[in-house]
Structure 1
Amino acid sequence: MKPRSVPLLMVAVLVLGACTAMPSGPSVMVLPGSNKTFDQFLGDDRNCRQFALGQVGGASSPQASNTAAAGTPAVGAGSSGDPGYGAQYGYDVAYIQCMYASGHRVPVYGQMLGAPPATPPANYKPDFPPPAPQGNAP
């Protein structure tokens, strides 16, 4: 290898390394559980942030070392072309799971209905007639 290519190689490694960033916190909103105090929420938040960081390989936690020892990638690793996005997604998933397991309210996506909306009976007659349609009236 030429002496001139070593510094160029080092610069390339530094530039690529700067593209991957560990998440600094969750990008989702979690609310305290119904039976939880705000102090309990703050304690669980701190614990779950540490847990989530360990899941994406950002901290030396027992789970992170077990994952590395097993040779399996951390949560979210390689799930997108953008390494920062994959790490943030994995962090958010682990954080939500931890907070939900601790009894807090987490975001739920999609429309959730316990039962279909009730339909009025066939003989239902409203007390007043429906309004006239809006449009070009003569």
Structure 2
Amino acid sequence: MKPRSIPLLMSAALVVGACTAMPSGPSVMVLPGSNKTLDQFLGDEHNCRQFALGKVGGVNSHQASDTAAVSSSAAGASTSSDSGYDAQRQYDAAYVQCMYASGHRVPAYSQMLAAPPATPPANYKPYFPPPVPQGYAP
């Protein structure tokens, strides 16, 4: 590989990475668990936001103190070809998994099913009109 091709590849990776938007936060609502206080919820939410940001290639608080980790995560984020929508979806998935593992209530996605037909009560008797008498002609 020629010496000039390495800086060219690095600059191309930075240009491609500039088009990707990092999520600013979760787009799903999570509620505190039944036995959790608000302070526990807020602490877990902060930790899970950092966890999710790290999963999509962002910089979390542990990586910010280490300059080598910052440069490696920035390079990893810049080579990512995910769109902003995909990054947000990955962020939300990691955030929901973390909050669920911490004991909080998270949204559950499922297919909507039609309700089964209602059964009539046991004492229901449908009305049938009496039969027409024999020999009756209208």
TM class by shorter chain equals 0.5 to 0.7
What is the rounded CA distance, in whole Å, between the counterparts of 2:27 and 2:59 in structure 1?
18
What TM-score do you get using the length of structure 2 for normalisation?
0.58
* Separation in structure 2 between the aligned mates of residue 25 and residue 43 of structure 1, nearest angstrom: 15
**3-state DSSP class of the match of 2:58?**
coil
Cα offset for 1:109? 1.9
Whole-Å separation in 1 of the counterparts to 2:13 and 2:85 = 20
Q: 2 CA distance for matches of 1:125 and 1:32?
A: 49
- Deviation of 1:105 after TM superposition, in Å, equals 0.8
Q: What are structure 2's unaligned runs of at least 5 residues?
A: 1-10, 64-68, 127-138
CA shift for structure 1 position 32: 0.8
TM-score (norm: length of structure 1): 0.58
What percent identity do the matched residue pairs reach?
A: 76
Q: Give the structure 1 partner of residue 28 of structure 2.
A: 28
Quick one: distance in 2 between partners of 1:100 and 1:37? 15
Residue identity matched to 1:19:
C
Structure 2: distance between partners of 1:38 and 1:125: 55
| Structure 1 vs Structure 2 CA RMSD | 3.8
Cα drift, residue 122 of structure 1 = 4.5
The answer for the alignment partner of 1:39 in structure 2 is 39
Q: What residue in structure 2 maps to residue 97 of structure 1?
A: 97
Instruction: Specify whether residues 21 and 105 from structure 1 end up closer, same or farther in structure 2 by C-alpha distance, changes over 3 A only.
Output: same
Shift of 1:24: 1.0
Change (3 A) 1:44 1:118: farther
**What is aligned with 2:109?**
109
What is the correspondence of 1:66-85 to structure 2 with a 5 Å cutoff?
A: 83-85=83-85
Gaps of 5+ in 1: 1-9, 127-138
SS of the residue aligned with 2:25? coil
Alpha-carbon offset, residue 86 of structure 1: 1.2
Q: CA deviation at 1:120?
A: 3.2
Please state how far the C-alpha of 1:17 moved relative to its aligned partner. Answer: 3.5
How many residues get paired? 105
User: Taking structure 1 as reference, are residues 106 and 121 closer, same or farther at Cα in structure 2, changes over 3 Å only?
Assistant: same
The residue aligned with 2:119 is: 119
Quickly say closer, same or farther: Cα 1:103–1:13, change in 2 above 3 A: closer
Q: Which has the larger radius of gyration?
A: 2
